[in-house]
Amino acid sequence: MDRELALEIVRVTEVAALASARWMGRGKKNEADQAATSAMRAMFDSVNIEGTVVIGEGELDEAPMLYIGEKVGSGHGPEVDVAVDPLEGTNIVAKGLNNALAVVAISDRGNLLHAPDMYMEKIAVGPKAAGLIHIDDPIPRTLEIVARANRKRIQDCTVMILERERHAQIIEAVRRTGARVRLFSDGDVGAAIATCFEDTGIDIYIGTGGAPEGVISAAAIKALGGEMQGRLVPDNQEEYDRCVKMGLKNPKQILLMDDMVRGEDAIFAATGVTDGELLRGVRFVGNDRAETHSLVMRAHTKTVRWVKALHCIPNKPHLVME
């Protein structure tokens, strides 16, 4: 993939963030998601790729755009797989809370796991603990390993966990070790990636969340030199059969980084919609101007760029604002 493509993808996440940010705190998650999706889909037409959506807003009969299998891009350029979450954290935006993002990951054609819309067990750590963890290790052992790798005491480590009833045992197990727990309400892409940035203070991400979000997170973590492992959790025979159809002979196998994002290259971009550990949210600064904060990274070079941009909203043809 061309290196210039990384900055083109940032334009896609920026416009999605700008569109959805208007809905912050207004209690309308569906409208916020639709605004992000429509803007992102329109902006993709200007990107020189032959893209196929492999992780998106749902199947063809579930989503009018950015559905799985949809072709995106100008039709000129490299053939790529595209994984999108136009608004990661619809409830977050509706409630005006932190850590909502617009995210896109791309890789060469055939290199992204076509994760079905089901749950995935996940664990993620930053570069210092990469290669040392195992998803089946008991939590006390995992914390010992990560604490040693990060040169911390266990009680100084922070574990990011999605606040759900299904995680009650994990939360209690972490607390028994003396480690600190950071609960979050939605948006596990940002939570997983936070393990790779020391200034977030997050050492481990553990829990069960969406499989598509797991693959998107893996693309970013691969570029950052961290590690993520996962395992699909099919709830019924239909979901089990979908896993087999997508090429997993054993749907309950442990998925390593190279299972989720194959090859040496992937590009990940995210723009903040609301403020969070990684990125500031959209700021409407007056005079029809808005400020965005994004990051973009490429696995091949391990380059991470932080992009601050000031936008003139009337000059954004892909934005439909109220």
Per-residue pLDDT of 6-51, as tens digits, reads 899 999 999 999 999 999 999 999 999 999 999 999 999 999 999 9
Greater confidence, 277 or 178? 178
Confidence of residue 273 (pLDDT cuts 50, 70, 90): very high
DSSP assignment of 86-117: EEE-HHHHHHT-S--EEEEEEEETT-B----S
- Looking at residue 214, what is its pLDDT? 95
Q: Quick one: which of 22, 77, 21, 20 has its CA closest to 44?
A: 77
Q: How confident is the model at residue 320 (pLDDT cuts 50, 70, 90)?
A: low
Contacts of 259 (CB under 8 A, 6+ apart): 113, 253
Give the residue, 2 or 234, on which the prediction is more confident.
234
How would residue 265 be classed by pLDDT, with cut points 50, 70 and 90?
very high
Task: For residue 306, list its beta bridge partners.
Answer: 295
Q: What pLDDT score does 61 carry?
A: 59
Length in residues, the chain: 322
CB 72 within 8 A of CB 49: yes
Query: For 163, left (φ over 0), alpha (ψ -120 to 50), or beta?
Result: beta
Tokens matching residue 314: 């009337």
Residue 268 has pLDDT above 70, yes or no: yes
Pair type for strands 283-286 and 158-162: unpaired
Average pLDDT over residues 184-211: 94
- Asked if the model's pLDDT at residue 59 lies above 80, the reply is no
* CB 270, CB 105: distance < 8 Å: no
- Among the listed ranges 63-72, 120-129, 195-204, 238-247, which one has the minimum average pLDDT value? 238-247
Mean predicted lDDT score pLDDT of the chain: 93
- Residues contacting 43, CB < 8 A, separation 6+: 11, 12, 15, 16, 318
* Percent of the chain whose pLDDT exceeds 70: 98
Q: What's residue 169's pLDDT?
A: 97
Q: What does the pLDDT read at residue 187?
A: 86
User: In angstroms, rounded to a whole number, what is the distance separating the alpha carbons of residues 133 and 108?
Assistant: 28
Position 309, amino acid: A
* Per-residue pLDDT at 184: 92
Q: At 191, which helix (H) or strand (E)?
A: helix 188-193
Query: Does residue 247 register a pLDDT over 80?
Result: no
Cβ neighbours for 291, distance < 8 A, ≥ 6 positions apart: 282, 283, 285, 308, 309, 310, 311
**Which pLDDT score, from 0 to 100, does residue 317 have?**
80
pLDDT at res. 263:
92
Dist. CA 103–CA 278, nearest whole Å: 13
Instruction: Determine contact, residues 85/103, Cβ cutoff 8 Å.
Output: yes
HSE-up of 178 (CA within 13 Å, CB side)? 8
Give the whole-number percent of the chain exceeding pLDDT 90. Answer: 81
